Structure 1
Amino acid sequence: MKIFIAVLLALALSAGLAAAIQQDSGYILIAYGQTTVEMTIWVGVAVLTVFLILVILIFMSLRRGAKVSDSIGSFWTVRRAVRGRSHTTLGMIAFIEGNWAKARKLLTDSAKDTETPLINYLLAARASHALGDAPGSRHYLGLAEQTSNKASIAVALTQAKMQIENGRLEEALATLTRARRNAERHPSVLTLLKKVYIGLRDWNSLLALIPDLRKHGGISEERAAELEREALMGQLEHTAQQGDATALQQWWKHVPRTWHRDNGLLLSYCRVLVAAGDSASAEKLLRQSIKLSWHSDLVKLYGLIAGYDVARQLSAAESWCKEHSDDAVLLLTLGRLSLRNELWGKAREYFEQAYQLSPNSEVCFELGRLMVNLDEPAAAERFTREALQLQGQSLPSLPQPSLSKLKE
């Protein structure tokens, strides 16, 4: 039905157009310079119509050609992307396997064809570092930094790790210091700084870093305490090298009060005080600390130093027997303090009590030495032999010359 109506309309339009042409053909004159073109209006309309049809056909051809070109371009783009991902994956596998040369080639060849060239260049820099190619490492780090405005931290971390591995701690510190200006709380920056400070034995900087490590470094409170103890021990060792008791005391005053009760730090501090010639201060501090918190290592050290008043020192230690009468370490300490006070009998009594509770090499050596000076050679030999056995230093069983045979 629709086709029939369309045919009727076309016939009607043709009949009308033919009648119009017969009635008045019209006239068109086009003049340009010395050239003139004459035609009827209906011929002009036909020419214009043909021209418009040609323009439309050309436009449609160009549009279809553009689509074909886009399709071809898209095909090659996808192909390059697939190739880039494939080579990047193979490069990462080679990197993990330690095949540095192959990894670097695959990663650099595919860097421009992947959406993540930063990773490619950073791994290529690491591979160059493993190959001992320092210029290559710097080159690929530079390319990595150019890939993104946000790549500076990743580049700095990679560079710092390589510098640390090469032992160039000062350079790593400079790199991380620059990185920290842009990312003060970055956990990886803080972690690497911790390694650098420990390597450089920069204990003051490590102590200043610990609060940030606690908040942003992702370390446990236990690990933070270990780092703080390590830094304080390092400071103590550095201060002790001066051999100045006053400097040691000033350092101790600046140590946080919570650390004054740490037995390990307290023992080390007292030992270096004694080495610096200030046994009296060490004895006083130990006496006060033992009253607050009983610890065998503190008690043992108390018997190894001579305070300002050795008689008072012995009296203080004897007062502890009320609560710790069965402590072998305390009895050993009392025996040594008795020797300092030249109380030979009391010293022997304390040593023997300690021996009965816990026979160890240290008590046996003390008894052996005391028995020698008390002119009891048999007992001295017995205790000394037992001390060597307890130390694991006993002599092998071997034939010995007989005194009677020698006389013959």
Structure 2
Amino acid sequence: MKIFIAILLTLVVAAGLAAAIQYDPGYILIAYGQTTVEMTIWVGLAVLAIVIILFFIVFISLRRGAKVSDNIGSFWSNRRARRGRSHTTLGMIAFIEGNWERSRRLLTDALKGSDAPLINYLLAARASHALGDTASSRRYLGLAEETSAKASIAVALTQAEMQVDNGRLEEALATLTRARRNAQRHPSVLILLKKVYLGLSDWSSLLELLPDLRKHNILPAEKIDSLERQSLMGQLEQAASQTDVAAVQQWWKQVPKLWQKDTDLVLSYARSLSAIGEDAEAEKVIRQALKQNWSSELVLFYGRVAGSDLTRQLSTAEAWQKEHGADPALLFSLGRLSLRNELWEKAKNYFEQSYRLAPSAELGFELGRLLSNMGALAESEQYTQQALELQGQSLPSLPQPRLAQ
């Protein structure tokens, strides 16, 4: 039906045009210089229509040709991009596998078709570092930093890690300090700083870093507590190495109250005081600590130090016995304190009670020495032999001169 209507309309239009041409064909004259062109108006309209049609044909052809050219360009561009992504992936795999030379070659080759080359440059720098090629490593880091204004932190971290690997801790610290200034909350910066401070034994700086590690949940709380204890111990060791009582005591004043209750820290502090000749101060520290927290380690060391009043020190330990009963560590210390007060039989009794409860090599040697000096040579030899066995240094059974007689 639609075709019939279209044919009918075409016939009507054609008949109308034929009638119009017969009625008045019209006249067109075009003159240019000595040249003139004459035609009827209907021929002129036909020529104009043909020109317009040809123009549209040329335009459409050119447009289609441009699309074809674009498609060809896109094909090669996409092919390069796919090849670049493939080489980047293979380069990363080779990097993980430790094939540094192949990794660097693939990563740099992938740059030809990559519009985001940062990862390629950074991994290529790391691969060069692994190969010992410092010059190439620096060059790739420089190129990485030029890729984006936001790449500076990633570049600094990569550079710092390589400096740490090479043992250039001071240089790594300078690099990380700049990076931290620009990225206070960047976790990798804080983790690397922790590693550098540990390597440099910079305990004060590490202690200052710990609040940031806690704040951003970078490490488990237990690990941070362990780092804090290690840092405090390191500071104590540095202070004690100066053999300066004031420096050691000043360190203790700066220790947080919570940590002043830590058994390991208290014991290390007391040992440091004793090592520089401050037994009386060490005795006071341990005595005060034991009032808050009973500890066998502290009790044992209490018997090793000489307080300002030896009689009072022994009385204090004997008062603890009423509360803690037959504690092997306390009995051992009571024996040593009795020796300081020259109470030989009392010391012997305390040592023997402790030995029955918890024999040890140290206690065996202590008993052997005391008994030998008291003239009980047979008993002394027995305890000494047992002490050697407890220490893992037992002697083989061999003939001896006295036994041979």
My pick for the range that moved more, 50-59 or 106-115, is: 106-115
Counterpart in the other structure of 1:296:
296
* Deviations, residues 108-159 of structure 1 (Å, cap 9, x unaligned): 1113424642222221111111111112112222222233332222222222
Q: State yes or no: 1:264 paired with 2:264.
A: yes
My pick for the range that moved more, 232-241 or 114-123, is: 114-123
Q: Could you tell me how far 1:277 is from its partner in structure 2? A: 2.0
Question: How do residues 157-168 of structure 1 correspond to structure 2 at under 5 angstroms?
Answer: 157-168=157-168
State how far apart, in whole Å, the 2-side matches of 1:348 and 1:247 are.
39
Counterpart in the other structure of 2:211:
211
Q: Could you tell me how far 1:35 is from its partner in structure 2? A: 4.3
State how far apart, in whole Å, the 2-side matches of 1:61 and 1:54 are.
11
Counterpart in the other structure of 2:287:
287
Counterpart in the other structure of 1:359:
359
Q: Percent identity?
A: 68
Q: What is the identity, as a one-letter code, of the residue corresponding to 2:187?
A: P
Counterpart in the other structure of 1:245:
245
State how far apart, in whole Å, the 2-side matches of 1:323 and 1:403 are.
47
Q: Could you tell me how far 1:404 is from its partner in structure 2? A: 6.2
Contact 2:80 2:112 in 1 (8 A): no
State how far apart, in whole Å, the 2-side matches of 1:27 and 1:174 are.
92
State how far apart, in whole Å, the 1-side matches of 2:291 and 2:149 are.
61
Q: What is the identity, as a one-letter code, of the residue corresponding to 1:387?
A: A
State how far apart, in whole Å, the 1-side matches of 2:390 and 2:11 are.
129
- What is the TM-score normalised by the length of structure 1? 0.93
Contact 2:332 2:363 in 1 (8 A): yes
Counterpart in the other structure of 1:134:
134
State how far apart, in whole Å, the 1-side matches of 2:6 and 2:350 are.
131
Counterpart in the other structure of 2:81:
81
Structure 1, unpaired ranges of 5+: none
Counterpart in the other structure of 1:338:
338
My pick for the range that moved more, 382-391 or 304-313, is: 382-391
State how far apart, in whole Å, the 2-side matches of 1:3 and 1:303 are.
120
Contact 1:191 1:217 in 2 (8 A): no
Contact 1:186 1:217 in 2 (8 A): no
Contact 1:163 1:171 in 2 (8 A): yes
* Deviations, residues 62-84 of structure 1 (Å, cap 9, x unaligned): 11112212222222222222222
Counterpart in the other structure of 1:199:
199
Question: CA 1:34 to 1:231, structure 2 compared with 1: closer, same or farther past 3 Å?
Answer: farther
Q: State yes or no: 1:103 paired with 2:114.
A: no
State how far apart, in whole Å, the 1-side matches of 2:4 and 2:403 are.
148
Partner of 2:149: helix, strand, or coil? coil
Counterpart in the other structure of 1:315:
315
Structure 2, unpaired ranges of 5+: none
State how far apart, in whole Å, the 2-side matches of 1:28 and 1:9 are.
29
Q: Could you tell me how far 1:100 is from its partner in structure 2? A: 0.7
Question: CA 1:311 to 1:39, structure 2 compared with 1: closer, same or farther past 3 Å?
Answer: same
State how far apart, in whole Å, the 1-side matches of 2:330 and 2:147 are.
69
Contact 1:100 1:128 in 2 (8 A): yes
Question: CA 1:235 to 1:403, structure 2 compared with 1: closer, same or farther past 3 Å?
Answer: closer
Contact 2:108 2:120 in 1 (8 A): yes
Number of residue pairs matched by the alignment: 405
Partner of 1:30: helix, strand, or coil? strand
Q: Could you tell me how far 1:212 is from its partner in structure 2? A: 0.7
Question: How do residues 210-229 of structure 1 correspond to structure 2 at under 5 angstroms?
Answer: 210-229=210-229
Q: Could you tell me how far 1:395 is from its partner in structure 2? A: 1.5
State how far apart, in whole Å, the 2-side matches of 1:392 and 1:57 are.
105
Partner of 1:152: helix, strand, or coil? helix
State how far apart, in whole Å, the 1-side matches of 2:7 and 2:376 are.
145
State how far apart, in whole Å, the 2-side matches of 1:130 and 1:312 are.
65
Q: What is the identity, as a one-letter code, of the residue corresponding to 1:317?
A: A
Counterpart in the other structure of 1:178:
178
Partner of 2:29: helix, strand, or coil? strand
Q: State yes or no: 1:306 paired with 2:316.
A: no
Q: What is the identity, as a one-letter code, of the residue corresponding to 1:263?
A: T
Cα RMSD for the two superposed structures: 2.0
- What is the TM-score normalised by the length of structure 2? 0.94
Counterpart in the other structure of 1:71:
71
Contact 1:187 1:217 in 2 (8 A): no
